[in-house]
Chain A
Amino acid sequence: MPKLRIKVDPDLCIGAASCVTIAPETFQLNEENKAYVLDHGAEPTPRTYERIIEVTDAEKENMILAAQSCPTLAIFIFDENEKQLFPET
């Protein structure tokens, strides 16, 4: 399964929660109303804005959809070769 690095820039995030609506297993909001990153609903390491997650192709597609939905483009997705999948550069 592909591995993705998912990163939220908390300085850009305004807590619009589009990502939480689309991919709640990957994104939730913290006390500061910023999205943090989960691994399939769990937090194997302490709370973080960045995680490497193993995903299925369908999960990958949904994560990109969640990132696209962010009105401040605060979510960055990289593949195993550190190629930025979203936002497209």
Chain B
Amino acid sequence: MRYLILGGGIAGTSAAEELRKRDAAAEIAIVSEEQHPVYSRVLLPHYVKGKIPRERVFLKKETWYGEQNIEWLTGVRATNIDVKNQSVALSDGRELPYDKLLIATGGEIRTLPFERRGVAYLRTIDDTDHLLQLLGERTGGERGGVYGGGFIACEFVNAFAHHSLPTKIAFRGPHFWSNLFDEQMGALVNDRMRSQGVEVLPGTLISDELFADCSIVGIGIGIEPDFSILKDAGIEIGGGVKTNEFLETNAPNVWAAGDIAEYFDTIVGRHLLVGNWMNAQMQGRAVAANMAGEKKPFQLVSSYATNILGLEIIFVGDVNRQAAEDVVVHGSAAAGGVTQMFLRNGKIVGAAIVGRNMDRAPITKAIQTQSGPPTLA
């Protein structure tokens, strides 16, 4: 049996590890565009703040791959997938045959449409090294800029605050997560930033002039996977690579997992595209079980938590507001916290929680048990 895994992040590596546990004799290969052993992207903000040394970011040593008898191809990517003859062409000219293929290539960050000095992204460890270099080059009196209204923008704001860099943030909508947050939640985040001295510019389009007074500009405007070779291969693409509840694509012997997978979630009853650590890691393990022949649906109420300048933000389950039939709101900006619960067919399917941490456990349980919205304190 030859397993080929495209993507060396946490989904792909967890799958390889699980496949090896299940089959000592199988051939397993990981194709990784990055040169580094698997590392925790979630630890990158801790690394920026100096909470941990660089080496602590890595989850496996380089020697792990050899010890596990996993072929680890770095600095290469797939350029063509032939699902009929079951082989993948790589950017270095090689052709790799497979019996079973996993697509776990994640997403690529959207970048600015123009060049300028001092631009920083925060997807990879190389991005993070670059950001730390920019922070280290300061001589005094600099300002930092942030563009974006999501998780990565939060991390830039926190990192700049940690490094005592006066910050200006701009985003297109009226507030963070403008498709998801209501006005009260948006106000909580904007007010928190303003109260900590951040200049906040809502409703602002990105331009070269916007950050003319900033020596470092952090960009967090989302990810955008490259689907071109997958489409060419005849693999069904929606918002991500479409899979059923077993993480199988429409192509025979091809699976998907992690940020790129738009899987059918049996708990909430629709396809979900989820970009968080827990989902990627658990899907990696689950897809390996399915690739090894176990027919087991992937079921997880995943969540992600962060904070912006100490204000806690938690997403649980299906947080697509547009796909909800009803929204139940608890709390208020004046009370310091707001929770929005998203409902379909009378059942709770997801929630966004700002400054109300204790709502998380009852909400998670209610989603898992496919119940109505829980009573909150």
Contacts of A33 in B (CB 8 A): 305, 307, 312, 314, 357, 360
| Measured CA separation A72–B43 after assembly (Å) | 5
| Docked-complex contact B42 and A69, CB < 8 angstroms | no
A12 touches B42 (CB 8 A): no
Contact A15 B314 (CB under 8 A): yes
* A16-B277, A69-B281 given; A29·B361 CB < 8 A: yes
Report if B56 contacts A (CB, 8 A).
yes
B374 to chain A, nearest CB (A): 16
Asked if B51 is an interface residue, CB under 8 A from chain A, the answer is: yes
Whether, in the assembled complex, A32 has its beta carbon less than 8 Å from a beta carbon of chain B, the answer is yes
Q: Report if A18-B281 is in contact (Cβ < 8 Å); known contacts: A31-B357, A72-B40, A72-B42.
A: yes
Q: Does B278 contact A (CB under 8 A)?
A: yes
Residues in A whose Cβ lies below 8 Å from that of B300: 21
| Contact assessment for A31 and B358 in the assembled complex, using a CB-CB cutoff below 8 Å | yes
Q: Within the complex, what minimum Cβ distance (angstroms) separates A58 from chain B? A: 15
| Contact mask for chain B residues 284-316; partner A; CB cutoff 8 A; 1 contact, 0 none | 000000000000000010111111000010100
A9 to B46, CA, bound (A): 13
Residues of B within 8 A of A53 (CB): none
Residues B40 and A71 in contact, CB atoms below 8 Å apart: yes
| Shortest CB distance A84–B (Å) | 13
B52 within 8 A of A: yes
Given contacts A33-B314, A71-B40, A73-B43, contact A18 B277 (CB under 8 A): yes
Given contacts A71-B43, A72-B42, A72-B43, contact A29 B306 (CB under 8 A): no
Least distance between B145 CB and chain A CB atoms (Å) = 24
* Contact residues in A for B364 (Cβ distance below 8 Å): 17
Given contacts A33-B314, A72-B40, contact A16 B278 (CB under 8 A): yes
Question: Interface extent on A, as a size class?
Answer: 10 to 19
User: What A residues does B52 contact at CB under 8 A?
Assistant: 12
Please state if A16 and B304 are interface contacts (CB–CB under 8 Å). yes
Given the interface pairs A14-B306, A16-B278, A73-B56, the reply to whether A32 lies near B357 with Cβ below 8 Å is yes
A5-26 CB contacts (< 8 Å) to partner B: 11-12, 14-18, 21
Residues on the A chain within 8 Å of B303, using CB: 16-17
Q: Which of B56, B357, B364 has the most CB of A within 10 A?
A: B357
Q: Give chain A residues whose Cβ lies under 8 Å from the Cβ of B305.
A: 14-17, 33
Please give me the residue from chain B that is nearest to A32 by CB atom: B357
List, in ascending order, chain A residues with CB within 8 A of B282's CB. 21
Q: Which of B157-199 contact A (CB under 8 A)?
A: none
Question: Cβ of B302: which chain A residues have Cβ within 8 Å of it?
Answer: 21
Are the C-beta atoms of A73 and B358 separated by less than 8 Å? no
A29–B360 contact, CB under 8 A? yes
Q: In chain A, residues 60-76, which have Cβ atoms closer than 8 Å to a Cβ of chain B? A: 69, 71-73
Instruction: Supply 27 A–B pairs (Cβ within 8 Å), ascending by A.
Output: A12-B52, A14-B307, A15-B312, A15-B314, A16-B42, A16-B277, A16-B278, A16-B304, A16-B305, A17-B278, A17-B303, A17-B305, A17-B364, A18-B281, A21-B278, A29-B357, A29-B360, A31-B357, A33-B307, A33-B312, A33-B357, A69-B278, A69-B281, A71-B41, A71-B42, A71-B277, A73-B43
Residues on B lying within 8 angstroms of A by beta carbon are 10, 40-43, 46, 51-52, 56, 59, 277-278, 281-282, 300, 302-307, 312, 314, 357-358, 360-361, 364
A residues touching B (Cβ–Cβ < 8 Å)? 11-12, 14-18, 21, 28-29, 31-33, 69, 71-73
Q: List 7 tightest A-B contacts by C-beta distance, closest first.
A: A71-B42, A15-B305, A71-B277, A33-B357, A18-B278, A71-B40, A33-B312
